[in-house]
Each structure stands twice: as structure tokens, then as C-alpha cells.
């Protein structure tokens, strides 16, 4: 798939962060044939003379990031993103493994579709791609998909993505039926009868702008239902993109009661609020260069308030929330040049995820090793034991590695994105922390600002 | 000085003063108007009102300017008054509605706007069912002024300005007045803009209606700007009798029939019983209190017929003043633009 690395590579002198082994130390990483030979303090005697040396002093090296929730749009929406472009974006963002949602056209609800995605990824992808299969046929919420066939074909989870499984009985059956397959069911928790025509978080900003609001209870009500169903069935539920303060204690309580629940949160829900819909100008929405109703801020679940952000950051720091997932949702820009109500939801997030997430470290909310854990070991834990070897730097494991500079400041310019989706509210924002190189199976796929 | 002189003599001291501040390109809502700028518009409207009451209603102020009214929603008074305002000022006014236009062929709002801009139009007056639609045009069109003639449930700044003008004309002031807005405030763009307008002018605003139709969270303090939130002074009172105590102005809002189907109200009957503005209820207000309505009215629902057409009603004056305000705004955006 990625070819064998032709030589031996020494990543020299980085701060090695390997959360799975509790490692945070300066050292070297030696790689041969796509496998990590050694990491940490390596005796010069053990380093072959002909090895290629990559100077990484002052940088951080960690297992490559794993994104368990992104949208690659292929097939059906190749004008928004392709597997080729999406995996390049992932490489630029430091991700070595990504899981793509099945809301394609046709949806990923049978083994032929799974094979199509995997074949495309082998032919054109530059990082590992793991498809997520539908919970129900055609994502219609009526009948279960052939989950075992999907599992055998290689899906790593089940989800109907943006169309939550509304029927509680069907969700119960999905969790029960899938319980012997060892794969989680991921639900996008949104009670549609309560969210109605809402397009942003309910609250002061929505009311001021006259935009239909989505109350927090939309997420919490369905999440509580799913947790109860997980308890009832023993099936594994994974809760996608938490966005409300009230969701965090729901997950915490479920964990304390031993219910098999995992949860993720997106970089944007950890860092920006619904105030951004005002155009960054809370007093006067039509002055200057800044305009309200920036459709680039439209995303489901919606951006919420500062107290929600604070609770999610704390939940992530404490490990109640297992991991960061990007929910990378690329769109062609023209589709966003409409009214807020007409605009599609979603943020192109693979390439800004690290810079956004590092704000939590720079802001003193968590240590760097904790953040890296939430982007490597955390998502691997959600997916199961087969991902253990992709989330560690232990000798003998696959050399999927990211090297990044946590302190490098850069201005987000979507024109530099590898993703076809240039839709980000962070356009023009300064982020601190950028990927320097990404290695998949011992081979650099991104290095020195360019896809290799 | 009257703006008439300015129109007729080329001397434009008021406008020049405004130009120093940075000339306004768009009228999207009143949230970015200062008290001073609102006063300038109201003063301009006085001059425009004189023109409106002449035998020959025509001045050359906007000769050679082109105004397009772009309406994606039905309208009687707003549309006609903009057209009349433009024509009295000698602008060429072109009316366009979504039906019968390229919108029916699927042309996007933005492309329609760019097309109109390419024709050399100076001002687009837009009404749209989606909140924020005028902002989309304002952000992407660089050679056209945008006037918001009503967007979704967000804003209707020209209505608010004509309401301010009418109250000031009748009561002589705005500061310190008690303004009661009654009805479906939650879905009312008129109410939102009026809240900004009256609050900025130092009036006390009280919102009254069913709890399901009040924008409670807009007023709830949150975030870092609690002290600066001008809406913090707005009060909410679900009991209409209490709300009307000592009121100087009572403004009834249109109640749409679909609110009952949407579950916001148990019945029209109960709404009428609790929130219809009636003569009996008005006895609690100040003796010279004004009765207002932005129109179109559901007589017998949110307002009693006798009150709507009674001596304290200024509903027709609102319509008349709407023309003067829109003349003032068209002038405000066009003058000194060379």
C-alpha cells in the first residue's frame, strides 16, 4: 500500500511523546522497513552508518494522529473532496489514520462500497483510510444494514452519520446485533423533532440574529437515550462530537456505572463559540469588514457558548471524553455563499486540528502528553485493539509518526489547504503549532511543507 | 437647518459631518447606528416630510441614481413606500420580485445581486425570508449600497426608524418614554429593530406576550459584555395589564395564524383574551399614549378594531412617515458618494 521504506531512517533529537508508554523524553527514533526499531536513547553503535538522518531537535515526535470521524465525500461528492485530496489534507494535519463516514452517494452500506473505498485509498490515498459502515440500509433509519458483511469487508465502526438513528427500538437492535462484532456504533446525537429547523445554537446570539436555534437538550436527550440503550444491550456506543456542557456529566456517569460508552469532541467545539456567528463584532453587525452570518461558522452540532467550551475542555482533560475527532466536512465554497439557513454545515478541519487543539496546551488546560494521548491512544481505544500498533512508538510497531513544532505560529490560509474544502471560520486566524512531517509505515508522506 | 435647503443648494453640512465619521454604505440594522446618526436621519426625514406634503412632490436630489427593490417576500407598504420615496427624489426605481425573475430558474441570491450591481445600480433595497440575507449582499457587493427592508425574523430597520420618527413627532421626545411592544416578539423583525432603536434613544422598552413568543435569551446576560449589553435594560412582562401601566406607547405586533399550529399558543381565543390591545386595557397607560402597529394588522386578534382606528392610533401616520424615512435613508446613502 505505502511501499517499503528504501532505507533506514533516524529521527534525531526530538522530544518523543508516546502516551501509551508514558514516554515524554528527548531521544531518537530509528526506523527500518516501515517498523520502529528503537526509540528513546539509542546507542550510536546501534545506528547504521548509511541511515538517513532527519534532524528533529526542538520538535515533538509522537505516534501519528488518528481521526475517527471525517468526511472524504467520495463517491458522489467529488466536487467537495476526494480520497486523494482528503488523505493529503490528513497528512498535512499530522494524521496517519483516518476513518471516513458513510454519508457518500451511494452510502457505504454494503461490502462492494467498502471495497471501493479501500481500493481508492490504496490507489490514491497517502495515509491509512478506514471506512465506517452504515447502521441502516441507505442511512434511512428503517432496516439494519448487513453489519457482519460490512465488518468482514473492513469497516471499523457503524454510523448513519448526520442522520441519527431516530427510532429508539432500531437503535436498540443495532446495538444488540452488533455486540458480537466488536465494533462500536457511533451516533450523531440530535433529536430532530426538537432541533426542528434550527441552524445554530439556541441562545442570545441566535435570538439576536433571528436565526432558528438548536437547544442543548437536542444533544443531551438523545445521548441519554443512547446511554440507556447501551446499558440495556451491552452494545458499544460511541458518542460523536459532544458540543454541550450537559453532555459531559452524562458520559461521566455512564462510565462510572460501567456502561460501554466512548466519546469524542471536535477542535472547533473546544476553541470557538457561537459569538463567531456575529462576525467577531458583538456591537454592530454591519460595520467595517466584519459581517455577521458568516456561513463558515455553520456546523452541526453548532458552535455553542463559552461555558460549553470550558466544560468540554475539562471533560477532555479529565479523560471523560476519549478523543479529539475532526469531523472534517469539506464543502465547495460556492455552497457557502448563500444565506445562513441555506448553507450546508461543516468545517474543513484536518489541517487546523493540531493548531486549534494546541490552544488547550498553550492555555494551560492540559499537558502536551495528554493532548497527544487524545489524538492517538484515545481514538485507538475507541476503535479497538487492532489499532494499538498504530498509536505507539514501541519498538516493533508500525512507523506511523508525526513530527510537529508546538510553538510555530502560522496564519490560516485556506488556499494552502491540501483539502478541496476551503471552508473554515479560522481563515486569517493565527494558530500556534504546526505539523513539520508525517510518516506512514516508515515513509514520509508530508515533509517541509509539501506532500511527498 | 432643514434638509430641504441642502437638497436645493448642494450645501450639505449634516451629511458632511456624517462623512467625517465614515460614510455609511449600508442600512442593515440599527445595532450599528449611534444615537447621533439616528437623530440625523430623523431630522432629514422632517425635511423629506415637507417635500411629501407639497403639491408637486418632486425634487432632483437623486437624479441619475438607480434604486432596485428586490423583494423575495410579499409586501405592500414597505415596497410601495420605497418606490415612492425614490421617485419623489428623482431616482430611477426598478422593482423586482422573486417570482417572474431568474430566481425561478435557480439563480442564487448572490448572483442576482452581482447581476444587478453589474447594471450600475446604486442601491438595492432587499426583503428576504432568511435572516441575514442583506448581509450576504453587503459582504460581497462592493459598489452597491444595501438597505434591509426586512430579513427573516431578524431586522427591519426602516420600520424602526419610522416608528421612532412617529413617536418623536407625536410626543416630542424619545428619551425616558415607556414603550410596550406586545405580541409575537420572538418572530418579529420589527420588534428586534425597534428594541435597538428605542434603547439607543434612551427609552424604556417592555416586551409583552406569551412566554413562548418572547426572546428571553436575547436579553439574558452572558459572556463578557454584560455591562455593555444595551439590551440589558429591556424588561419582560407577560401580564399585559401590568405592562401597560404608565405606558407612553403601545405597539401591537402581527400574530401569524401558523403560530397556533406551531404549538406556540393554545388558541387564538386565549391569545385574544390575554394579549389583545383593547381600549379597556389602554386605560392603564398614560392618557396621551400612542397606539401603533407596523401592519399588516389582524384586526380583532392582536388589536381591537376600535382602537386601531380610534383617536390614539397613529397607524396611518406610521405609513406616511415611512415614505419620509425611506427618502431620508436613500438620500443618506447616496449623497456625497462621488
- Dihedral sign, CA of A182, A188, A194, A196? negative
- Whether residue B32 lies within 8 A of chain A, CB to CB, comes out as yes
CATH number at residue A284: 3.20.20.140
pLDDT at A251 over 50: yes
For B109, which of A203, A206, A338 is closest by C-beta distance? Answer: A338
The bridge status of strand A60-63 relative to strand A401-411 is antiparallel
What angle, rounded to 10 degrees, do the helices at B13-22 and B35-52 form? 150
Amino acid A448: pLDDT: 84
What residues contact residue B113 under an 8 Å CB cut-off, 6+ apart?
B70, B124, B136, B137, B140, B141, B144
Distance from CA of B222 to the nearest CA of A (A): 8
pLDDT digits (tens, 9 = 90+) for A377-415: 999 999 999 999 999 999 999 999 999 999 999 999 999
Distance CA A145, CA B112 (A): 44
CB A34 within 8 A of CB A441: yes
CB B110 within 8 A of CB A338: yes
Return the residue in A286, A291, A427 with the most chain B beta carbons within 10 A, the one to mutate for interface testing: A286
- State whether B223 and A305 contact (CB < 8 Å): yes
Distance from CA of B109 to the nearest CA of A (A): 7
CB B183 within 8 A of CB B298: no
CB A295 within 8 A of CB A384: no
Number of Cβ pairs < 8 A linking chain A and chain B: 90
Residue A103 within a domain: yes
Distance CA A347, CA A276 (A): 13
**Residues across chain A:** 452
- State whether B136 and A306 contact (CB < 8 Å): no
Chain A residues with CB-CB distance to B192 below 8 A: 208, 210
Sheet bearing B235-236, strands edge to edge? B235-236, B204-208, B178-182, B249-252, B290-292
What number does CATH give the domain B157-315? 3.40.50.1370
Give residue A260's domain range: 65-391
Domain count, chain A: 1
Distance from CA of A95 to the nearest CA of B (A): 34
Amino acid B228: pLDDT: 59
Catalytic positions of A, please? Answer: 327
Cell numbers describing residue B43? 431630522
Q: What are phi and psi of B128, to 5 degrees?
A: -150, 145
Q: What are phi and psi of A134, to 5 degrees?
A: -70, 150
Residue A437 within a domain: no
Amino acid A103: pLDDT: 97
pLDDT tens per residue across all 338 residues of chain B: 344 444 443 334 444 444 445 678 999 999 999 999 999 999 999 999 999 999 999 999 999 999 999 999 989 899 999 999 999 999 999 999 887 777 778 889 999 999 999 999 999 999 999 999 999 999 999 999 999 999 999 999 999 999 999 999 999 999 999 999 999 999 999 999 999 999 999 999 999 999 999 987 766 655 545 555 677 889 999 999 999 999 999 999 999 877 777 889 999 999 999 999 999 999 999 999 999 999 999 999 999 999 999 999 999 999 999 999 999 999 999 874 43
- State whether A207 and B26 contact (CB < 8 Å): no
- State whether A209 and B225 contact (CB < 8 Å): no
pLDDT at A282 over 60: no
Domain with CATH 3.40.50.1370 in chain B: 3-153+320-334, 157-315
Q: Which CATH number fits domain B3-153+320-334: 3.30.565.10, 3.40.50.1370, 3.40.30.110, 1.10.3720.10?
A: 3.40.50.1370
What residues contact residue A224 under an 8 Å CB cut-off, 6+ apart?
A250
- Dihedral sign, CA of B235, B237, B243, B248? positive
Integer angstrom CA distances of residue A180 from A66, A153, A176, A177, A236: 24, 16, 8, 7, 10
pLDDT digits (tens, 9 = 90+) for A333-386: 999 999 999 999 999 999 999 999 999 999 999 999 999 999 999 999 999 999
Residue A11 within a domain: no
Distance CA A209, CA A376 (A): 39
For B136, which of A203, A210, A339 is closest by C-beta distance? Answer: A339
Residue A415 within a domain: no
- State whether B132 and A293 contact (CB < 8 Å): yes
Amino acid at each position: 500500500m505505502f511501499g517499503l521504506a528504501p532505507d533506514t531512517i533516524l529521527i534525531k533529537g526530538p522530544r518523543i511523546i508516546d502516551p501509551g508508554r508514558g514516554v515524554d523524553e528527548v531521544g531518537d527514533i530509528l526506523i527500518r522497513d516501515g517498523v520502529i526499531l528503537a526509540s528513546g536513547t539509542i546507542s550510536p553503535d546501534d545506528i547504521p552508518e548509511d541511515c538517513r538522518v532527519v534532524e528533529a531537535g526542538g520538535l515533538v515526535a509522537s505516534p501519528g494522529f488518528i481521526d475517527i470521524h471525517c468526511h472524504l465525500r467520495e463517491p458522489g461528492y467529488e466536487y467537495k473532496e476526494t480520497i486523494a485530496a482528503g488523505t493529503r489534507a490528513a497528512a498535512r494535519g499530522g494524521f496517519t489514520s483516518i476513518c471516513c463516514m458513510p454519508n457518500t452517494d451511494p452510502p457505504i452500506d454494503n461490502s462492494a462500497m467498502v471495497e471501493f473505498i479501500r481500493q481508492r485509498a490504496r490507489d490514491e490515498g497517502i495515509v491509512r483510510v478506514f471506512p465506517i459502515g452504515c447502521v441502516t440500509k441507505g442511512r434511512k433509519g428503517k432496516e439494519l444494514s448487513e453489519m457482519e458483511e460490512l465488518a468482514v469487508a473492513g469497516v471499523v465502526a457503524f454510523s448513519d452519520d448526520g442522520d441519527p438513528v431516530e427510532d429508539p427500538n432500531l437503535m436498540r437492535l443495532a446495538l444488540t446485533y452488533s455486540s458480537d462484532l466488536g465494533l462500536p456504533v457511533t451516533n450523531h446525537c440530535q433529536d430532530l423533532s426538537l432541533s426542528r429547523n434550527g441552524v445554530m445554537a439556541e441562545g442570545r446570539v441566535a435570538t439576536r440574529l433571528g436565526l432558528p436555534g438548536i437547544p442543548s437538550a437536542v444533544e443531551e436527550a438523545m445521548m441519554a437515550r443512547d446511554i440507556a440503550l447501551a446499558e440495556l444491550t451491552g452494545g458499544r456506543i460511541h458518542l460523536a462530537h459532544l458540543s454541550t456542557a450537559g453532555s459531559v456529566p452524562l458520559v461521566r456517569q455512564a462510565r462510572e456505572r460501567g456502561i460501554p460508552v466512548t466519546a469524542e469532541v471536535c477542535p472547533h467545539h473546544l476553541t470557538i463559540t457561537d459569538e463567531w456567528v456575529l462576525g467577531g463584532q458583538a456591537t454592530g453587525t454591519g460595520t467595517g469588514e466584519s459581517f455577521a452570518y458568516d456561513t463558515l461558522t455553520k456546523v452541526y452540532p453548532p458552535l455553542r457558548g463559552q461555558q460549553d467550551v470550558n466544560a468540554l475542555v475539562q471533560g477532555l482533560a479529565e479523560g471523560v471524553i476519549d478523543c479529539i475527532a475532526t469531523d472534517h466536512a469539506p464543502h465547495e465554497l460556492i455552497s457557502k455563499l448563500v444565506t445562513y439557513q441555506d448553507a450546508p454545515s461543516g468545517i474543513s478541519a484536518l489541517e487546523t486540528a493540531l493548531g486549534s487543539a494546541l490552544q488547550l496546551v498553550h492555555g494551560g488546560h492540559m499537558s502536551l502528553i495528554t493532548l497527544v494521548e487524545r489524538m492517538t491512544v484515545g481514538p485507538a481505544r475507541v476503535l479497538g485493539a487492532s489499532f494499538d500498533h498504530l498509536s505507539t512508538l514501541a519498538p516493533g510497531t508500525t512507523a506511523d509518526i508525526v513530527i510537529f513544532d508546538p510553538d510555530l505560529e502560522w496564519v490560516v490560509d485556506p488556499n494552502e489547504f491540501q483539502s478541496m474544502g476551503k471552508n473554515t471560520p479560522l481563515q486569517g486566524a493565527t494558530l500556534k503549532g504546526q505539523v513539520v512531517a508525517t510518516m506512514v509505515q516508515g515513509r514520509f508522506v508530508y515533509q517541509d511543507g509539501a506532500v511527498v | 437647518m432643514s434638509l430641504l435647503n441642502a437638497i436645493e443648494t448642494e450645501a450639505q453640512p449634516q451629511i458632511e459631518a456624517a462623512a467625517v465619521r465614515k460614510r455609511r454604505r449600508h442600512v442593515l440594522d440599527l445595532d450599528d447606528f449611534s444615537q447621533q446618526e439616528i437623530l440625523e436621519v430623523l431630522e432629514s426625514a422632517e425635511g423629506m416630510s415637507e417635500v411629501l406634503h407639497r403639491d408637486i412632490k418632486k425634487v432632483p436630489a437623486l437624479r441619475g441614481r438607480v434604486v432596485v427593490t428586490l423583494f423575495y417576500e410579499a409586501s405592500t407598504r414597505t415596497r410601495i413606500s420605497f418606490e415612492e420615496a425614490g421617485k419623489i427624489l428623482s431616482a430611477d426605481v426598478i422593482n423586482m420580485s422573486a417570482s417572474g425573475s431568474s430566481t425561478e430558474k435557480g439563480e442564487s441570491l448572490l448572483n442576482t445581486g452581482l447581476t444587478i450591481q453589474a447594471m450600475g445600480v446604486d442601491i438595492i433595497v432587499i426583503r428576504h425570508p432568511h435572516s441575514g440575507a442583506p448581509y450576504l449582499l453587503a459582504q460581497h457587493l462592493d459598489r452597491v449600497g444595501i438597505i434591509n427592508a426586512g430579513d427573516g425574523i431578524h431586522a427591519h430597520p426602516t420600520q424602526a426608524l419610522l416608528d421612532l420618527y412617529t413617536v418623536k413627532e407625536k410626543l416630542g421626545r424619545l428619551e425616558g418614554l415607556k414603550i410596550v411592544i406586545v405580541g409575537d416578539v420572538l418572530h418579529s423583525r420589527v420588534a428586534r429593530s425597534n428594541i435597538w432603536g428605542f434603547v439607543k434613544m434612551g427609552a424604556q422598552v417592555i416586551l409583552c406576550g406569551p412566554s413562548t413568543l418572547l426572546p428571553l435569551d436575547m436579553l439574558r446576560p452572558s459572556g463578557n459584555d454584560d455591562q455593555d449589553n444595551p439590551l440589558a435594560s429591556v424588561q419582560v412582562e407577560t401580564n399585559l395589564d401590568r405592562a401597560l401601566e404608565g405606558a407612553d406607547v403601545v405597539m401591537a405586533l402581527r400574530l401569524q395564524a401558523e403560530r397556533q399550529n406551531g404549538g406556540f399558543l393554545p388558541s387564538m381565543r386565549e391569545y385574544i383574551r390575554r394579549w389583545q390591545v383593547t381600549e379597556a386595557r389602554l386605560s392603564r397607560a398614560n392618557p396621551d399614549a400612542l397606539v401603533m402597529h407596523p401592519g399588516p394588522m389582524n384586526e380583532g386578534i392582536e388589536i381591537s378594531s376600535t382602537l386601531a382606528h380610534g383617536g390614539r392610533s397613529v397607524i396611518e401616520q406610521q405609513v406616511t412617515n415611512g415614505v419620509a424615512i425611506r427618502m431620508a435613508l436613500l438620500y443618506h446613502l447616496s449623497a456625497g458618494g462621488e
